[in-house]
Amino acid sequence: MTATEIDSPPAGTASAPALRLEDVRVELSGSSGRVQILRGVSFEVPRGQIVALAGESGSGKSTAMLAAVRLLPWGAGVSGTIECQGEDVRALSSRQLRQFRARTARVIFQDPWSSLHPMRSVGSQLVESARSADGSLSKAAARELAVETLRRVGIPDPKARMDVYPHQISGGQLQRVMIAMALVARPAVLLCDEPTTALDVTTQAQILDLLRDLNRSEGITVLIATHDLDVIAGIADRLVVMYAGRVVEDGPAQQVLAAPKHLYTWSLLQAAPAHQHESRLRPIEGRPPRSDENLPGCAFAPRCPGARDECTGELPGLELVAVGHRSACLPVQQQKEAQQ
Amino acid sequence: MILQTENLEQSFPVSGGRRVQVLNGVSISVNAGETLGVVGESGSGKTTLGRAVMRLSEPTGGRVFFEGRDVTHANSAHLRRILRRRAAMVFQNPSTSLNPFLKLVDALTEPLAVHRIGSRSERRQQAYDMLERVGLDRAQAERYPQELSGGQRQRVGVARALMLNPALVVADEPTASLDVSVQAQVVNLFQDLQRDLGLAYLFISHDLALVSHLSHRIAVMYLGRVVEIGPAAEVFDRPKHPYTVVLSSMRRPAGEQLTPGGDPPSLLSPPTGCAFHPRCPIARPVCSTTAPELTALAETKGHEVACHFPGDLELSGGLETAVAPPPPIPLEAVR
């Protein structure tokens, strides 16, 4: 990062953000030709913060996360800037990339059952993970680190747990093991793709508590992709809302939830039964655009309760509408201008 | 009363000649036009309950009554005449529960054909009417399931369940595979159909907020037993069983949530006494030795709790803080 950067980082963190995406576009080959999955995504994950990347299925949240560690399928067309811990992720050689994924940015997937090797003990997978990040680690030291990390993520009797196989422990424990596997590498950034969706409600809360605890005590930067705004409401510092391959709103989590500045975020919050005392829910009519549909204006306009004529014609950019709070909603931007 | 179970038990064989007891004496009832919501985590037995009352499995103990008749061990011909005509099921994943090789019209007329109702053209007409009823266009009748979006597919799943004009619909996590914005559409459809057709629902879900939204009564299940049952508002807003209190607290800000320690117990080695005691914040010695019976509470009619110390664990604040109000619309012109 150079001194020419315009947006100065918030006070206290004198360094560049842990992760920065700028105008990232991703194209994948589908049955109907090339489809745009990401249509110019820009957001930042400040160091030491928890950022939630929220959106419905097809919004591109997982793609954005996978693009950040170059885990997209073969043949994906990527453009734009992706920087993680000051490194240009798109320019890494395959050798550097392996180091980057082992040490700097670790990914935790939705389904712990399919993320672990079913035929190898939990311990041996932890040891492998630790040694891949730090080649100078002896087997014994790696084992010690693994036991310590299992204890850190709240696994009871960690020594004995080293020898069990993934099928012998519950989903919640398994997700803790996944987090431990990431932690043994002492990564700077933890990328979690729907880390609690496959888990029960009470277990979900335990895992989120653990992530917050790790963030607070060890300063690990966390990015969580989620479809459920309410689940991450309690733990995220910032919220990035995506719709149809673009960021539509980005701001401090509590502020976005209490006073959303995009009609999509607002509609989504309205639709959740947790926020509805009335006898009927307020759904968002229609459905999100397909990835092969190209709308000239705001992608949400056809379903939007506040859409105006100009919304369908012109694509709104992400603009500041409040302190640290950006929105890509044209009527909201116009309202803000009128107030000034 | 449409549906009633008495001490329903269901066990399945597992390796080593053992059996796993999934339902352990479940007694519930569903009245005409009523929604009974069943809430529980994985392994609680909620799905098994739905399948057992639909007689997709044969109960190993207890009784199931449907419209007053005992169907616990009814044979298939008998079942077809009573239960299968008058009760239907909506499954979790419409992408796998609809036959990908059947056009919608054929998927919808199939139940009528099985039960030899109407002529071919009458059946088709009914299918068209039902599509419109669930908010789809009749022109879509000639389409295949994969041509529809997830929300539209689940509408078809609902339409198919309704073709025989049932008295009871068992819905097992019908919106779990849908996005929040589309989930609300399907939930509203369920409510509209109940109002118009007088349907009774057994609505199974892990989502307490959703269940409390559309249920008249709620049964909370834990490890094969009903631990709390009662009017929806009571169970949701003034829960008396510590497990329900814990579930209910999940809607609150992170700092106010009661996160239980430990994991959900395994059905293969259930805890002694009350199944929740290893995770319960207020467990006392008696809880680990004696399983509490489901007992009616004196203060509210129809509210039953299986706990030695009902109401000892409470959420502070109560009703008002329970549901976070939706935020204001960001636009003044629309407000």
Could you read off the pLDDT of A214-270 as tens digits, one per residue?
999 999 999 999 988 877 888 899 999 999 999 999 999 999 999 999 999 999 988
pLDDT at B323: 54
Best mutation target, B263, B276, B332, B335, to test chain A (most A CBs within 10 A): B263
Residues B89, B166 within the same domain = yes
Distance from CA of A56 to the nearest CA of B (A): 6
Residues B192, B47 within the same domain = yes
Task: Name which residue leads in pLDDT, A10 or A332.
Answer: A332
pLDDT at B335 over 50: no
Name the pLDDT band for A278 (thresholds 50, 70, 90): low
Residues B87, B177 within the same domain = yes
Name the pLDDT band for B317 (thresholds 50, 70, 90): low
pLDDT at A277: 62
Q: Tens digit of pLDDT for each residue in B9-39? A: 999 998 888 899 999 999 999 999 999 999 9
Residues B166, B297 within the same domain = no
Name the pLDDT band for A2 (thresholds 50, 70, 90): very low
Residues B180, B55 within the same domain = yes
Give residues 266 to 285 of A whose Cβ lies within 8 Å of B.
Answer: 266-277, 279-285
Name the pLDDT band for B251 (thresholds 50, 70, 90): confident
Inspect the interface and report whether the beta carbons of B41 and A277 lie closer than 8 Å. no
Return phi, psi of residue A39, to 5°: -120, 50
Q: Are B243 and B221 in contact (CB under 8 A)?
A: no
Nearest chain A residue to B244 by CA distance is: A202
Inspect the interface and report whether the beta carbons of A275 and B329 lie closer than 8 Å. no
Nearest chain B residue to A230 by CA distance is: B251
Q: Tens digit of pLDDT for each residue in A33-48? A: 888 899 999 999 999 9
Is B252 inside any structural domain?
yes
pLDDT at B320 over 90: no
**Total tally of structural domains belonging to chain B:** 2
Q: Tens digit of pLDDT for each residue in B39-93? A: 998 889 999 999 999 999 999 999 999 999 999 999 988 888 889 999 999 998 8
Q: Residue B205 maps to which CATH number?
A: 3.40.50.300
Return phi, psi of residue B229, to 5°: -145, 140
**B151 touches A: beta carbon within 8 Å:** yes
- The interface pTM score, or ipTM, of the predicted complex is 0.79
Is B46 inside any structural domain?
yes
pLDDT at A70: 94
Question: Please, what sign has the CA dihedral across residues A102, A103, A104, A105?
Answer: positive
Low-confidence winner among A8-12, A116-120, A297-301, A313-317 (lowest mean pLDDT): A8-12
Is B107 inside any structural domain?
no
The 3-class secondary structure across chain B, one letter per residue, is CCEEEEEEEEEEECHHHCEEEEEEEECCEECCCCEEEEECCCCCCHHHHHHHHCCCCCCCEEEEEECCEECCCCCHHHHHHCHHHHEEEECCCHHHHCCCCCCHHHHHHHHHHHCCCCCHHHHHHHHHHHHHHCCCCHHHHHCCHHHCCHHHHHHHHHHHHHCCCCCEEEEECCCCCCCHHHHHHHHHHHHHHHHHHCCEEEEEECCHHHHHHHCCEEEEEECCEEEEEEEHHHHHHCCCCHHHHHHHHCCCCHHHCCCCCCCCCCCCCCCCCCCCCCCCCCCCHHHHCCCCCCEECCCCCCCEECCCCCCCCCCCCCHHHHCCCCCCCCCCCCC
Residues B193, B296 within the same domain = no
Low-confidence winner among A241-255, A264-278, A295-309 (lowest mean pLDDT): A264-278
Is B114 inside any structural domain?
no
Q: Which of A209, A263, A329 is the closest to B259 by Cβ?
A: A209
Is B163 inside any structural domain?
yes
Name the pLDDT band for A3 (thresholds 50, 70, 90): very low
Between chain A and chain B, the number of residue pairs with CB atoms below 8 A apart is 141
Q: Which chain B residues touch A235 with a CB distance below 8 Å? A: 254
**B324 touches A: beta carbon within 8 Å:** yes
Could you tell me the residue range of the domain that residue B278 belongs to? 240-333
Strands (E), A46-166: 50-54, 77-84, 87-88, 105-108
Residues B269, B182 within the same domain = no
Inspect the interface and report whether the beta carbons of A262 and B187 lie closer than 8 Å. no
Let me know the angle formed at the C-alpha of A231 by A225 and A234, rounded to the nearest 5 degrees.
Answer: 105
Inspect the interface and report whether the beta carbons of B328 and A331 lie closer than 8 Å. no
Give residues 253 to 292 of B whose Cβ lies within 8 Å of A.
Answer: 253-255, 257, 259-260, 263-264, 266, 279
Task: Name which residue leads in pLDDT, A279 or B81.
Answer: B81
Inspect the interface and report whether the beta carbons of A202 and B41 lie closer than 8 Å. yes
Write the CB contacts of B178 (distance below 8 Å, at least 6 apart in sequence). B150, B151, B154, B186
Question: DSSP string of A188-210?
Answer: SEEEEESTTTTS-HHHHHHHHHH
Q: How do strand B61-66 and strand B69-70 relate by DSSP bridges?
A: antiparallel
Residues B94, B35 within the same domain = yes
Inspect the interface and report whether the beta carbons of B326 and A228 lie closer than 8 Å. no
Is B30 inside any structural domain?
yes
For residue A132, count CB atoms less than 10 angstroms from its CB and return exposed for 0-12, middle for 13-18, buried for 19 or more. Answer: middle
pLDDT at A228: 84
Residues B165, B33 within the same domain = yes
Inspect the interface and report whether the beta carbons of A284 and B184 lie closer than 8 Å. yes
Q: Which chain B residues touch A285 with a CB distance below 8 Å? A: 185
Q: What percent of chain B has pLDDT over 70?
A: 96
pLDDT at A169: 86
Name the pLDDT band for B333 (thresholds 50, 70, 90): low
Inspect the interface and report whether the beta carbons of A273 and B326 lie closer than 8 Å. no
Residues B275, B180 within the same domain = no
**Rounded-to-integer distance, Cα B154 and Cα B187, Å:** 11
Residues B76, B205 within the same domain = yes
Distance from CA of B11 to the nearest CA of A (A): 21
Residues B94, B194 within the same domain = yes
Q: Are B163 and B130 in contact (CB under 8 A)?
A: yes
pLDDT at A195 over 60: yes
Task: Name which residue leads in pLDDT, B259 or B6.
Answer: B6
Q: Whole-prediction pTM value?
A: 0.86
Is B124 inside any structural domain?
no
Is B320 inside any structural domain?
yes
pLDDT at A300 over 70: yes
Task: Name which residue leads in pLDDT, A339 or A148.
Answer: A148
Task: Name which residue leads in pLDDT, B252 or A331.
Answer: A331
pLDDT at A15: 67
